[in-house]
């Protein structure tokens, strides 16, 4: 994790987050920012805006600007834009590919992303190529052969926790004139900064760890180059299509960001310890987590991630769907729900949610690890595993 912020030299990122990226409200002295509710702004007698830059709240929202500035600093990027959800952010980026173009997407990622891209490309006359980014040379060759307009990665991937080599893939993208984008939702900007490794865009579902309290939908995209054609499109898409957060949701997101460092620290420590426990358990077939030395991309993950490996892990149990569902049903502290990155730990049988076409193993449970005490999390799994 970066120790200082670029916008405030010498200030530790933890301190920047704690103060919401800007300290007290300059207009009132309030230690938390106000929630702007106005949708439009007045002009004077000459029909000039009384406050330049404030025309309509779809784009002109001071709370957006404050939150976007903080996230751009965390990412080491030039600019950020908030969206109404993570999927809205994905949609804006995917639409940078014009009809007749090609989109190369990493296979085995979040099923919602894959399903959306398949439908979008089929409707929009865009060639969609899906390839395994776990085999670097195969993926690099795919970029060279297909010459995509956009390459979409997810690091680490959800739910298989694969770690793609962002640096080498981004380099090949630049050689071939492709835009590279990384969904780093499962890592957070405190663990992984894809722009540092050459990615053009980084995206997060702010619904997850950035907010961290399972009470809003949001997305954010950050660019390395605010003058790029792709970024101009993303900005315009957010403004004209209107896929924006409400002011209250932006306020909740900024409030959640204030505790991001503390939450990430606890969640990452918990995840590592639980992964180690499960890895040694005789009823577990395999643990998918890049923080384990047994993970095939562990060393690659270590070279890109700082301060942890994220709070998402997947477990495959000896047996099949029946055994996995028995464990999920026996858990008491873990809540059976779909999401990740919140303060509460969640368990999900992805096959039940996604079905046969997703390729998810029937014996796999995806875990999102929260901030509970690690002894309680381990004890909950210890008793649940006794049922199989």
Q: Taking a C-beta distance cutoff of 8 angstroms, is the pair 319, 291 a contact?
A: no
Q: Which candidate in 60, 62, 81, 110 is catalytic?
A: 110
Enter the tokens of residue 84.
């109404």
Angle at the Cα of 328 from the Cα atoms of 260 and 337, rounded to 5 degrees: 45
- Reduced to 3 states (helix: H, G, I; strand: E, B; else coil), residue 249 is helix
Q: Rounded CA gap, 151 and 181, in Å?
A: 6
State the DSSP H helix or E strand holding residue 23, giving kind and residue range, or none if neither: none
Residue 270 has phi, psi (to 5 degrees) of -60, -45
DSSP-derived letter for residue 98 is P
- Reduced to 3 states (helix: H, G, I; strand: E, B; else coil), residue 119 is helix
Report CA-CA distances (Å) from 283 to 320, 323, 365, 383: 12, 10, 13, 12
Q: Which residues pair with 79 in a beta bridge?
A: 223
Q: Taking a C-beta distance cutoff of 8 angstroms, is the pair 257, 208 a contact?
A: no
- The yes-or-no answer on residue 58 being catalytic is yes
Q: Which candidate in 25, 58, 225, 258 is catalytic?
A: 58
- Reduced to 3 states (helix: H, G, I; strand: E, B; else coil), residue 75 is helix
- The yes-or-no answer on residue 59 being catalytic is no
Q: Which candidate in 172, 193, 208, 362 is catalytic?
A: 208
- The yes-or-no answer on residue 110 being catalytic is yes
Enter the tokens of residue 227.
């003058």
* Residues in CB range of 110: below 8 A, 6 or more apart: 154, 157, 158, 159, 183
Residue 69 has phi, psi (to 5 degrees) of -65, -40
Q: Which residues pair with 43 in a beta bridge?
A: 49
- The yes-or-no answer on residue 172 being catalytic is no
* Residues in CB range of 194: below 8 A, 6 or more apart: 153, 155, 166, 170, 182, 184, 202
Q: Which candidate in 59, 62, 165, 183 is catalytic?
A: 183
So which residues are the catalytic ones? 58, 110, 183, 208
């Amino acid at each position: 994790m970066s120790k200082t912020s670029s916008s405030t030299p010498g200030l530790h990122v933890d301190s920047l987050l704690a103060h919401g990226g800007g300290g007290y409200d300059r207009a009132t002295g309030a230690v938390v920012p106000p929630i702007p509710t106005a949708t439009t702004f007045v002009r004077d007698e000459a029909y000039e805006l009384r406050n330049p830059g404030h025309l309509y709240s779809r784009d002109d929202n001071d709370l957006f600007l404050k939150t976007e500035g903080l996230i751009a600093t965390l990412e080491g990027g030039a600019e950020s834009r908030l969206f109404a959800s993570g999927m809205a952010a994905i949609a804006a980026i995917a639409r940078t590919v014009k009809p007749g173009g090609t989109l190369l997407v990493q296979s085995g990622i979040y099923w919602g992303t894959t399903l959306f891209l398949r439908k979008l490309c089929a409707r929009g006359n865009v060639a969609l190529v899906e390839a395994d980014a776990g085999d670097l040379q195969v993926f690099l060759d795919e970029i060279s052969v297909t010459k995509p307009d956009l390459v979409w990665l997810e690091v680490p991937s959800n739910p298989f926790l694969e770690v793609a080599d962002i640096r080498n893939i981004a380099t090949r993208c630049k050689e071939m004139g492709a835009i590279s984008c990384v969904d780093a939702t499962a890592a957070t900007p405190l663990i992984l900064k894809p722009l540092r490794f050459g990615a053009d865009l980084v995206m997060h579902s702010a619904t997850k760890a950035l907010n961290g309290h399972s009470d809003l939908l949001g997305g954010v995209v950050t660019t390395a180059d605010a003058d790029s054609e792709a970024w101009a499109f993303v900005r315009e898409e957010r403004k004209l299509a209107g896929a924006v957060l409400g002011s209250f949701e932006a306020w909740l997101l900024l409030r959640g960001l204030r505790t991001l460092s503390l939450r990430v620290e606890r969640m990452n420590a918990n995840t590592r310890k639980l992964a180690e426990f499960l890895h040694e358990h005789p009823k577990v077939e395999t643990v998918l987590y890049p923080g384990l030395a047994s993970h095939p991309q562990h060393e690659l993950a270590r070279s890109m991630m700082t301060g942890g490996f994220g709070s998402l892990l997947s477990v495959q149990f000896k047996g099949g769907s029946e055994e996995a569902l028995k464990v999920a049903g026996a858990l008491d502290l873990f809540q059976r729900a779909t999401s990740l990155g919140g303060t509460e730990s969640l368990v999900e049988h992805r096959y039940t949610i996604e079905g046969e076409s997703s390729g998810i193993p029937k014996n796999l449970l995806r875990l999102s690890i929260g901030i509970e005490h690690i002894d309680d999390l381990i004890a909950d799994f210890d008793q649940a595993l006794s049922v199989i």
